[in-house]
Amino acid sequence: MTARNPLTELDRPNSYIGRAVPRPNLTRLLRGRGQYVSDMTLPRMGHVVFVRSPYAHARILGIDTAEAEAMPGVIAVVTGKRLAEVCTPWVGVLSHLKGLKSAPQHAIAVDRACWQGEAVCAVVAETRALAEDAAERVFVNYEELEPVTDMVAALQPDATVIHPELGDNLAFERNLDAGEVDKAFAEADAVAEAEFVFGRHTGVTLEPRSIIGDWNPGEERLTVHQGTQAPHMMQNIIAKHLDLEEAQVRVICHDVGGSFGIKVHVYADEMATVALSKLLRRPVKFVADRIESFTTDIHARDHRCKGRIAVKADGTITAFAIDDMTAIGPYSMYPRTSAIEANQVVNLVGGPYTNMNYRARARVVFQNKNVTCQYRAVGHPIACSVTEGLVDLAARAIGMDPAEIRRKNLIPDDAYPTASASGLKFEALSHHASLDKLLKMMNYDALRAEQAELRKKGIHRGIGIASFIEVTNPSAAFYGVGGARISSQDGVAVRLDATGRIIVQTSITEQGQGSEAITAQVTAHALGVPMERVRVILGDTDNTPYGGGTWASRAAGIGGEAAWQAGKALKANILAVAASILQADAATLDVVNAIVVDKATGTERMPLEEVGRIAYFRPDTLPPGFQAELMTVRHFVPREYPFAFTNGIQASWLEVDTDTGFVTLLKHWCLEDCGTIINPQLVDEQIRGGVVQGIGPALYEHCRYDERGQLTNASMADYLVPMAAEMPDIEIGHVVSPTKESELGAKGAGEAGTAGAAAAVANAVNDALSPFDVTITEIPLTPEVILKALGKV
Amino acid sequence: MTATVSITLTVNGETVRAEVPPRMHLADFLRERLALTGTHIGCEHGVCGACTVRLDGEIVRGCLVLAVQANGMSVETVEGASDSGELQDLQDAFRERNALQCGYCTPGMLLTAQELLAKGGVPDRETIREHMSGNYCRCTGYQAIVDAVETTARNRAAARG
């Protein structure tokens, strides 16, 4: 820390909240000593490979497994019908998403495959290679059925209905009408409209999905090693569908090679893997290969959203209207459902602005492509791109600067608490402070001048701005109220051991974002001990309190507060023990640097190891009737607000080559308000990583299907992601508006970058192309898309 | 099945003799036969860089080299390069700068960066980005990695005087 005068909170000993300390778990990862599920080998472990449907839609007439069973090293060949005897199907619906419907999905397809890549048979062998050899000798007799691939055609009366028992291909529809929309459009000085098209893309976690099921018939217990974000949710689901008690299932989450929402869902092939372990009474491991990742990891987005905006000549936005359609594959995912993204789009469009006239329709459609579900920033990139794209169109229609129209319409910083047109409750946001800071950070006026100069030389640079709000710290409103057994609260247990060290068990999980670090920071800060003394245990349903895990930007805000409260409670208990030994008033004592001191003078009284020694080995010396409690547990869930909204604003500065259609990113800024910042470096890196995951689908990432439902670019060579050479440096700034729901005041930061990046980039491209009078509202913005819009191809 | 082939190679300074199927690639050999799981597998078609190892001092994709091709050669993995201490300053810079999140790409990133750093001098950011552009990272957005490599280059240059 740089020296300051007067001393700040951070200059006190053991002050870790707000400090950019390195993560304690990095050394093992840096030395190649991490343990990912894909690294693990258990005795007698079999490897499963799935035979997958080559068709998007096909009836399974018969499966001949005889040759495969005779292949070297084969342990078992199991069809969907056989596996259904040990694993029941599921239906991905939630009761609060009224009308949402889906069909029963089996771990392995039983008589029909509904997307290219759906598993139709499992081969378990001694090695992955032998299982792959044998899988080639499984002969499946298919009758190809008409695939439903186009989302608009899927709703036509003559469309093939994928699940006839459901009546049609419409999984879910939501309508919202707030204020006086028709009146606002009728009285507008200008109306702008566009159809925004969002390609399908996916998470591409560098470690593919990995799971080991280990059924021990002697213990009648199933241990599951899984790269997952939600161990307790998985425990519940696995028990439910394998006819076990939850107590018979233990889920352990080791190091995870990237998640981003991909690893928070229940995958059919992973359920099949644990079911096979139970069936075969031995450990069975599944690691997706890269083609399987592309064809079966959940995809996201794939929206077509028509949007309209009404604006007055003075820049006042008077209405938003959207009609969104999204295609989700043949099943709604389990248990979080595939309707959440569209629902979020309805909730979030127009969210940063004061306008209260808003109409929305969202339709969620079945099709014969891979399933889609919640991926980092669920719905936010859609809502933000539609909103911010429309705001720029409105600004252009009335000849106003994009920054100015936002200043005119963003909710004032002194208006809180308030609510959006869609009914979202906002506790405290900072749109205007964020906008001001962003414009200063990027030197907006100078950049505009530079842009104008370069334009004279035929160099087309653009500035794109995107305000956003982000859902974080979700309460039970997300899933619990809909009947899903997904915990919205988290728990933390903190213990002083006999050598004065601290052991923390938390129900949040670590996938690299820094859960372990911030838990250690908060606990050490609460207790008054050096962070090096704290060891954090997470990701094990046998050894942590019950809780939700890590998703929807919740770990720091919810798990962090539980750690803070548990740490404070343990400190009080430690002081009670020390006071009884020292015959002092606990209120006069404190803990500093792991030593009990006199609060007033700082005089050292006894180190924590002495407190531990006496409490554990010489409790006979403590006063009669006094029981030392050197382990405390606290749980936390926000109660007043369903979600702690955060806000921010991003800007992109880029150059478009109008001859080649290539976009060169020059700089990106993100100003963000996540409340109290526990670790500035970790927050900034979450945002940078999130921005790049938002830039990817804006420019490169796209799961390209053909009209028969075949994924045509299911390899890393064909599906492009951002690489080091194409990415710009990203400047981050903060405004801090802590939530009053917790003492810590932290909100989430993991998805903010992803929420607004694509909108900023798309607006910048359109800004760069403004001399050509074209507006592109489709992503990814490939050279082909740009050249087409320019009429050059 | 094709008969196995006898190979002898040096892995992180130790002599290893093994019988391997001709189709087994080097990354699988290191992970499955030697339990050196620091070499990660991300794509198995040479794109992502997670399986980067050194073969006779040159970085290669472990998934694009067959174990039999490494016969008579010397292989170094992230475990070996960590134990020898040669990556220590780079690892420290990664740790301080949080240039890794999930850590899955990190072994490949370290060995790739070390190749650039071994050329000496202080490469500019564009050169670092270009050099690292064959390695996927889905977590960081790359900036922290570029920072850590740049810092290490500066520190090494300063140490050389």
A285 occurs within a structural domain: yes
B47 and B101, same domain (yes or no)? no
Same domain for B156 and B90, yes or no, is yes
Q: Contact at 8 Å (CB) between B124 and B116?
A: no
Three-state DSSP state, B29: helix
Print the domain residue range for B57.
Answer: 5-77
CA distance A713 to A295: 10
Residues of B in contact with A724 (CB under 8 A): 128-130, 132-133, 135, 137, 142, 145-146
Which residue in the block uniquely carries the two structure tokens 């087309």? A460
Residue with tokens 């198995």: B44
Same domain, A507 and A625: yes
CB A380 within 8 A of CB A388: no
Let me know: does A646 contact A752? Beta carbons within 8 Å.
yes
Chain B partners of A33 at a C-beta cutoff of 8 Å?
38, 79, 82
Contacts of B64 in chain A (CB under 8 A): none
Beta strands at A490-496 and A631-636: parallel, antiparallel or unpaired: antiparallel
Same structural domain, B59 and B121: no
pLDDT above 70 as % of chain A: 99
Chain B CA closest to residue A732: B143
- Of chain A residues 253-282, which have a CB less than 8 A from chain B? 255-260
Do A268 and A321 lie in a common domain? Answer: no
Q: Give the tens place of pLDDT for each residue, A309-342.
A: 999 999 999 999 999 999 999 999 999 999 999 9
Looking only at the bridges linking them, the beta strands covering B5-11 and B74-76 are parallel
Query: Mean pLDDT, chain A, as a whole number?
Result: 97
Secondary structure, 3-state, A564-609:
HHHHHHHHHHHHHHHHHHHCCCHHHEEEECCEEEECCCCCEEEEHH
Give pLDDT < 50 ranges for chain B: none
Is there a single domain that holds both residue A721 and residue A745? Answer: yes
Q: Cβ contact (<8 Å) for A206 and B104?
A: yes
My answer on whether A706 and A742 are in the same domain is: yes
Q: Are residues B24 and B68 in the same domain?
A: yes
Whether residue B100 sits in one domain with residue B64? no
Phi-psi region of A659 (alpha: psi -120 to 50; beta: other; left: phi over 0): alpha
CB contact under 8 A, A30 and B142: no
- A536-548 in b/e form (b: 16+ CB < 10 A) is bebbbbeebbebb
Same structural domain, A373 and A386: yes
| B155 and B97 together in one domain | yes
As given in the structure block, the two tokens for residue A647 are: 């806000």
Give the side-chain half-sphere CA count within 13 A for A690.
33
Q: Which of A23, A31, A375 to mutate to test the interface with B (most CBs of B within 10 A)?
A: A31
Torsion sign over Cα A543, A639, A265, A564? negative
Are residues A723 and B133, on separate chains, in Cβ contact within 8 Å?
yes
Which of B23, B55, B77 marks a domain boundary? B77
Cβ of B95 within 8 Å of Cβ of A26? The answer is yes
Q: How far apart are CA B133 and CA B154, in angstroms?
A: 21
- A 10 A CB-CB count for A110 gives 17
**At B63, which CATH number?**
3.10.20.30
| Whole-number pLDDT of residue A3 | 43
Domain boundary among B49, B77, B105: B77
Check B48 against A206: CB less than 8 A apart: yes
Are the beta carbons of A32 and B102 separated by less than 8 Å?
A: no
Read off the pLDDT of residues A500-538 as tens digits, 9 standing for 90 and up: 999 999 999 999 999 999 999 999 999 999 999 999 999
Q: Domain check: are B91 and B73 in the same one?
A: no
Run of H or E residues at B150:
helix B143-160
Rounded to the nearest angstrom, the minimum Cα separation between B88 and chain A is 9
**Least CB-CB distance to A290: which of B44, B78, B130?**
B44
Does the ipTM exceed 0.90?
A: yes
Q: Tell whether B90 and B71 lie within a shared domain.
A: no
Looking at the fold, whether A318 and A404 belong to one and the same domain comes out as yes
Residues in chain B: 161
Give me the phi and psi of A214, to 5 degrees please. Answer: -135, 90
Domain endpoint, select from A274, A296, A318: A296
> Across the interface, do B38 and A681 touch by the CB < 8 Å criterion?
no
Phi, psi of A645 (to 5 degrees): -70, 140
B148 and B107, same domain (yes or no): yes
Cβ contact, residue pair B142, A724, below 8 Å: yes
- The reply to whether A473 touches chain B by the CB within 8 Å rule is no
Structure confidence at residue B161 (pLDDT): 79
Q: Are residues A89 and A233 in the same domain?
A: yes
Which of A393, A305, A384 has the alpha carbon at shortest distance from A766? A393
Predicted local distance difference test score (pLDDT) of residue B2 = 79
CA neighbor of A51 nearest in space, from A75, A83, A80, A73: A80
Q: Tokens 């506790």 label which residue?
A: A427
Q: Are the C-beta atoms of A650 and A752 separated by less than 8 Å? A: no
Q: Which residue range is the domain that position A349 belongs to? A: 299-476+640-789
Same domain, A576 and A599: yes
> pLDDT higher for A48 or A552?
A48
pLDDT of residue A376: 96
Model pLDDT for residues A203-226, shown as the tens digit of each residue: 999 999 999 999 999 999 999 999
- Selecting from A30, A689, A723 the residue whose C-beta is nearest the C-beta of B139 gives A689
Cα(B20)–Cα(B12) distance, rounded to whole angstroms?
A: 19
In a domain, A384, yes or no: yes
Q: Are the Cβ atoms of B23 and A129 closer than 8 angstroms?
A: yes
CB of A57 within 8 A of CB of A146? yes
Total domains in the fold of chain A: 3
The tens digit of pLDDT for each residue in A49-81 reads: 999 999 999 999 999 999 999 999 999 999 999
Q: Last residue of a domain, which of A271, A296, A321?
A: A296
Residue A174, classed as helix, strand or coil, is: strand
pLDDT of residue A7: 60
Residue A600: predicted pLDDT: 96
Q: Do residues B73 and B89 both lie within one domain?
A: no
| pLDDT given for residue A652 in this prediction | 98
Nearest Cα to Cα of residue A462 among A758, A665, A782, A765: A765
Q: Is residue A373 domain-shared with residue A419, that is, in the same domain?
A: yes
Nearest chain B Cα distance for residue A266, angstroms: 21
* Contact residues, chain A, for B48 at CB < 8 Å: 206, 716
Within 10 Å of residue B16's Cβ, how many Cβ atoms? 16
Q: Establish if A167 belongs to a structural domain.
A: no
Query: For chain B, what is the domain count?
Result: 2
Q: Are residues B100 and A129, on separate chains, in Cβ contact within 8 Å?
A: no
CB-based contact B140 A685, cutoff 8 Å: yes
CA–CA gap between residue A455 and residue A458 (Å, rounded): 5
In this structure, are A388 and A464 located in the same domain?
yes
The reply to whether A191 falls in a domain is no
- A360 in B contact zone (CB under 8 Å): no
Of A591, A608, A636, the position where a domain reaches its end is: A636
- Residue given tokens 């191809």 in the structure block: A793
- The SS3 of residue A558 is helix
Contact A27 B91 (CB under 8 A): yes
Ramachandran assignment for A350, one of left (phi > 0), alpha (psi -120 to 50 degrees), beta (any other)? left
pLDDT of amino acid A9: 67
- Of the three residues B30, B45, B77, the one that is the final residue of a domain is B77
pLDDT for A684: 98
Q: Are residues A582 and A448 in the same domain?
A: no
Q: Which residue of A has its CA nearest to B99?
A: A685
pTM over 0.95: yes
Which strand ranges, in their side-by-side order, compose the sheet holding A119-125? A74-79, A119-125, A46-52, A284-287, A210-216, A221-226, A249-252
Does one domain contain both B98 and B68? no
Is A722 close to B133, i.e. CB distance below 8 A? Answer: no
CATH classification of the domain holding A509 = 3.30.365.10
| pLDDT given for residue B1 in this prediction | 59
> What chain B residue is nearest to A515 in terms of C-alpha separation?
B101
Instruction: Give the closest of A685, A716, A730 to B45, CB-based.
Output: A716
Q: Which residues of chain A does B87 touch, with a Cβ-Cβ cutoff of 8 Å?
A: 30
Mutation for A interface: B28, B31, B48, B102, most A CBs within 10 A: B102
Run of H or E including A303: strand A299-311
- Does residue A747 fall inside a structural domain? yes
Same domain, B10 and B69: yes
**Is A549 a member of any domain?**
yes
CATH code of the domain containing B150 = 1.10.150.120
Q: Do A666 and A722 lie in a common domain?
A: yes
B139 contacts A258? CB cut-off 8 A: yes
